[in-house]
Amino acid sequence: MYRSEASKLTGRKRSRFGEATDFDEGLYDLGNGVHAWMVPNGSWGENNSGLVVGDGGSLLLDTQWDVPCTAEMLDAMRPLTREAPIKHLVITHADGDHSWGCALVREAEVVMSAAADSESRELKPASMTLMSGVTGALARAGWGNVKKACHYLHGMTAPYDFKGAVAASATTTFQKRTTIEVGGREIHLIEAGPAHTRGDVIVHIPDTGVVFCGDIVFNGSTPVLWAGPLENWVSSLTKMLELDAETFVPGHGPICGREGVLKMKEYWEYIGRELRKYHEAGISARDAAYDIALGQEFAESEYARWDSPERIMTSAHVTYRHLEGKGGHLKPAEKVLILWKQGLLASDMPGAVPASMHRP
C-alpha cells in the first residue's frame, strides 16, 4: 500500500464485515496534493474515495454509502479542506455506496456523466432500508432457501445506517470526457461506461500519474456487471492502461499499479469466454454461474479467494441478456431475483469471504 507520514488512519483491525483487514483504513497521501480514503477489504460498501487539493480549492471523488461513514471521511480530510474547501464532488457512477453521502457536501458542484445522473435518479435509499428490514426479519424467522437468501441480502447492508442518505443529483453533466480545473490543476474525467453501471467514469490526474478507477477496477474483490456489455469493460481497462499513470486507486480494494488493472482485464476475459461457451451450449445463466464458481478450475484460481466470488451470478445474467440482444438494463424486480439466486450460490461457498455473508 501507498502511505506517507501525513496519512491519517483509523486504527481499526476489522473490516465492516468483521474480517481481519488486508490493509489499513484511512487517508493516504499519494503525493502532490492527491489523497485516497481507503476502506478495507473492498466488500459491499467498503469503497474508496479520493481528494485532490489545489490552490484554494479541492475536488472530492465519491462519498461513502451512508452519512456516518461519509462524515468520518470528511472529518479526516478537514485539515486539508480547511484552507482548500471542496468545490467539486465527482461521482464516478450511480451506485449508492459511492454517492449517498452527498448531503454532507451540499456546497460543492456535483459532476457526473449524463448516464450516471439519469441512473442515480432511479435509486432510492429508502428502498434499501426497507429491503434490509424485511430480509433481516426473514433471515431470523425463515427456513431453507428463504433463510439462506435473506441472510445474504440483509448482510449486504447490515453495517450501514441509511438515515439521511440521499441519491446524488448532478449540477453538471458531461458525455465522453471533460476537464475540471481545481486550484490551478487539471483533472480529466473519462466516461468508461456502460460497464459496471450505465455511466461509469474514471478520473485521471495527469500531473501526478494517478487514476481513480471508480468501479472499473476492483482489486482482490469480485467485480459485478450491472449494465455491460462485458466488452465495454474490457476495452475501458485497455484504455486505462494507455494513460500516463502508474498508480491506480480502485473502487474497492487496495491501491495497485498496472498489474491490478491487468488482473481485472484477465478476470473478465476468462469469465466472458466461459459464459459464451455455456450460452452456446444452451445452459442457463444460473447454472453457468454455479458450474463456473463451484468448478475445479475456478477453485484453483486466485478468483476464488477474491471477496464475494458469487457475484458471478449477476454478471452471468447480464452477459446472457447481451448475448440474446436484450441489453443490460435490469428492472428493480429483476435485480432482486438475481440477487436472491446470488445469495443461494453464496451459501454453497462457505469458505468465501466475507464469512458473515456466506455462513448463515
Domains of the chain, by residue range, sit at 8-125+153-358
Q: Are 53 and 88 contacting, i.e. CB atoms less than 8 angstroms apart?
A: no
| pLDDT band, very low/low/confident/very high, at 100 (cuts 50, 70, 90) | very high
Q: Are 36 and 42 contacting, i.e. CB atoms less than 8 angstroms apart?
A: no
Q: Residue 193: its pLDDT value, please?
A: 81
Cα–Cα distance for residue pair 188/195, rounded to 1 Å: 19
Q: Are 33 and 52 contacting, i.e. CB atoms less than 8 angstroms apart?
A: yes
Show the CA angle centred on residue 122, arms to residues 16 and 107, nearest 5°: 70
For the record, the C-alpha cell of 32 comes out as 502532490
Q: Which CATH class is domain 8-125+153-358?
A: alpha beta
Please compute the mean of the pLDDT values over residues 171-196 and round it to a whole number. Answer: 96
Q: Residue 123: its pLDDT value, please?
A: 86
Question: Mind listing the pLDDT tens digit for each residue in 204-258?
Answer: 999 999 999 999 999 999 999 999 999 999 999 999 999 999 999 999 999 999 9
Q: Residue 2: its pLDDT value, please?
A: 54
What is the rounded average pLDDT for all residues in the chain? 95
Closest C-alpha to 99, from 52, 64, 123: 64
| pLDDT band, very low/low/confident/very high, at 5 (cuts 50, 70, 90) | very low
Amino acid at 280: E
Question: Mind listing the pLDDT tens digit for each residue in 329-354?
Answer: 898 899 999 999 999 999 999 999 99
